Amino acid sequence: MILHAGDAKVTYDKENQDVKFEGSMRLANMKEYDQVTEFLKENTNGLAGKLTLDFTELQFLNSSGITTLSLFILNCKKKGDVELLVKGSKDVAWQQKSLANFKKLWSDIHLEI
């Protein structure tokens, strides 16, 4: 399953339970991020086991995007069905600086940078 959101592509690989973010995601506001929230919900609803959020190829994410993904992570924490692995790249500055915030939201997250 693929979602094109602005200059970003979000791909869900069902077999590996992996969501890959690529490009630059700088949508105008939270409302515009609803499409990303819906995409994540539709594809991960009822899922159990490991779920990977792979940001290594995402060059930019604005604060509305960080908020959207933070709310998704808080929702996963609340449901408690999945084990989250968040992958980032040390070569992409925003990931080095801001992905750690996700682990602060839910200490059980495995963060790989």
Residues that bind another protein (CB under 8 A): 6-7, 24, 26-31, 34, 37, 59-60, 62-64, 66-68, 70-71, 74, 91-94, 97-98, 101, 104-105
Shortest distance in whole angstroms from residue 16 CB to another protein: 27
CB 103, CB 69: distance < 8 Å: no
For another protein, give the closer residue by CB, 18 or 62.
62
Shortest distance in whole angstroms from residue 93 CB to another protein: 4
* 62: nearest Cα among 24, 35, 96, 102: 24
Task: Kindly give the pairing relationship between strand 110-112 and strand 82-87.
Answer: parallel
For another protein, give the closer residue by CB, 50 or 97.
97
SS3 percent helix, strand, coil of the chain, rounded to 5, is: 35, 35, 30
For another protein, give the closer residue by CB, 18 or 71.
71
CB 9, CB 23: distance < 8 Å: yes
Shortest distance in whole angstroms from residue 94 CB to another protein: 5
